[in-house]
Structure 1
Amino acid sequence: MPRRSISTLMTSVILACTMGIGLSATGASAAEPVRIAVEGAFPPFNYLDSNQKLQGFDVEIADALCKAASIQCEFVVEEWDSMIPDLLADKYDVIVSSMSMSQERRQKVAFTARYYDSPSVLVRRKDDPVKGVAKGDWHGVKLGVTLSTAQAAYAQEKYEGAKITVFDKSPELYQGLEDGSVDIILEDKLAIYDWLANTKAGQCCDFDGGDIKDPVYFGEGAGIALRKEDTALLSQLNAALSQIQSDGTYDRINAKYFPFSIR
């Protein structure tokens, strides 16, 4: 998903959930909030509003999980391509930022059960006379992707001959499509749905072709990432996820952002 160069600067945003209960040594104590990393630049899943406060589907799901698990949580805004390295460096405990559970990532971190699923899609401007890529011939096609994403890795491997432009963040990717810097982009379907459906700029463009699914690159949906040794916290988050899915909390959050289920 979208993303940028490594930065050591992190902005902490405190979100009070419930007062925490103690976890084992592989989790967090009541005196130590669970630190949750979010990128804050991937609407509608996570973004900073005009007051620089975190909003979005990921943020509300994380908040609900903290409440269901009765743990105290603290959000940390982090650059995308620093997320796994800084998780492993103990700069925070959990990543709730629309991270696809790819095979490569599973080698480094543990994941909870899936909390949403979304295919990738190609998107093109409506006024572009070209529709689709003839016989899969990508030679000369200007294709946009976002840095350090599964879509970027997929495009590099699968779209031989394409002139690939890598953008730092999704908003810049969308702007590149709108202004003609690229002919077509490859992006997460749910992420770009918000731009297409709910922004004036997004009216320029539409899906080009069907859903693209490949578990090798895109994993089995989005999961919450933790260090592999944090088994107690993993169990607690999985139990909380099951709870919010069964008690209606998940569906209420889902309906706020999407007119269809993304489970």
Structure 2
Amino acid sequence: MPELPEVEVTRRGIAPTVEGEILRELVVREHRFRWPVPAELPGIVAGQTVRKADRRGKYLLLDMASGTMIVHLGMSGSLRHVRADDPPRTHDHVDWIFDRGIIRMHDPRRFGAVLWHPVAHGPILEHKLLANLGIEPFDPRFDGEWLYRYTRGRAPAIKQVLLAGDIVVGVGNIYASESLFRAGIHPVTPAGKISRMRYDRLAAAVRQVLASAIESGGSTLRDYVGVGGESGYFQLNAQVYDREGLPCRVCATPIRRIVQGQRATYFCPRCQRS
């Protein structure tokens, strides 16, 4: 699933094509996504200018005068630049046509979304999909104190708490394993039992890991590619993720794999003892 780094890489990739530009046409070849694409949406947005391409968590937000288009890449989606004469492939479901180019959405599993939030419904951040998201990891307020404060009394494992997204957004499965390794925290440690000092290390690790992933173009495990068709390569330099049985790059202890909430977790039993 594309996580925060992949979505941020996508946002940066489409911004030069869409920001300040008129959306000439929205072509919807398939309306059946996780939530159906509103049938009236092409008529609403055609001719409007995209004022800004923004992001909240894993949601892309295309801001226009009368509302905001919400785009989610789901489990297998991606956006890419195409030429006007490029015929749609199988699973190419939506085109955004601008003077500077065409952005095309590819989503084999159709778990993504293209939705509309009109200005009349209030601020976009109050939309039901966004209202309960945690803080952005690059927000200046996000630090060890933030994690410590919002984990008091929480018994679930810290890995699960990071994935929940109600305290901080965007720390997906790969990035949670990598952040916990950098912070020296065992992934099954109850979130409420971690000290403030250790949360300082974890907050710093989260920012470092996500920044590195964005710089690397995200992670490509299955379907994700950038807007130019390029693969992300963060996973190639992962310290623990998908390295079960291989020596830890720090202490040479074999990396272990466990399953938490049906998601694979990787860790070093020596570097992350508790």
Asked which structure has the greater CA Rg, the reply is 2
Which structure has the highest helix share of the two? Answer: 1
State the TM-score, normalizing by the size of structure 1: 0.28
Q: Which has the higher contact order (CA 8 A, sep 6+)?
A: 1
